[in-house]
A and B are shown apart, each in its own frame.
Chain A
Amino acid sequence: MPQYEIGIILNPNLDGAQAALEKEVIKSALERYGASIKNVDDWGNRRLAYPIQKDPEGNVVFYTVEMAGNNNAALERELRLRDHVRRVTIIRDRPEWRNSQKKK
């Protein structure tokens, strides 16, 4: 199954429990779409290069996921519906290409 990298930016003003709940919801949504989570990369609250929804910070989380690629758009749409989710990107991750693309 192809591997994807899902980048999500959450509202940074959530307290710990709310953020955990939001991540739980995201996780269950991912699993509902048949994704098996291989790695979670949580950057926490981070200063962004430009304000998103008038907020200069964002809670950045990356998921590395294996799933069938036929309903990415639906998954993206569903994640976007959450109020606290501000950005979603799903990008095909090809670890087998990485070495050949490494400079030098």
Chain B
Amino acid sequence: MSNRTNPKGDRQDRERSVRRGRKPKVAAAVGAFDLTDFKNVEVLRRFLSETGKILPRRRTGLSAQEQRKLARTIKRARMLGLLPFTEKLVRK
């Protein structure tokens, strides 16, 4: 965190810095799992966005190699109808 004093945007800055980093990476939240197991639907589902897209690495926290393997696994599960290709976006 910066020590820069900014009387106007102080509160905002603090709020933003608290907000950032609150959401843990998905892989960290899930713990150990098999990257190649396409039958493990409950875990794989957490790597999808609300609309069914595969989350990017900055959200999953996987290495590039792991991310590629995960993507392939998810696509296999999709072929069998275990995971969605798309999901309707529910507006709140």
Contact = CB atoms under 8 A, between A and B. Distances in A.
Interface of A: 7, 9, 41, 48-50, 52, 58, 60, 62, 87, 89, 91, 94, 97-98, 101-104
Q: Which 9 A-B pairs have the closest CB atoms?
A: A48-B81, A49-B84, A101-B35, A104-B32, A7-B80, A49-B83, A103-B32, A52-B81, A102-B32
Interface of B: 27, 30-39, 62, 66, 69, 76, 78-85, 87
B31 A103 contact: yes
Contacts, number: 55
B81 A103 contact: no
Contacts of B62: 103
Contacts of B35: 101-103
Contact of A102 (B34, B82, B84): B34
16 contacts: A7-B80, A48-B82, A49-B81, A49-B82, A49-B84, A50-B84, A52-B81, A60-B82, A87-B79, A87-B81, A98-B36, A101-B36, A102-B33, A102-B35, A103-B32, A103-B35
Contacts of B32: 102-104
Given A50-B85, A62-B39, A103-B27, A98 B34 contact: yes
A80 to B, nearest CB: 13
Contacts of B78: 49
A9 B77 CA distance: 12
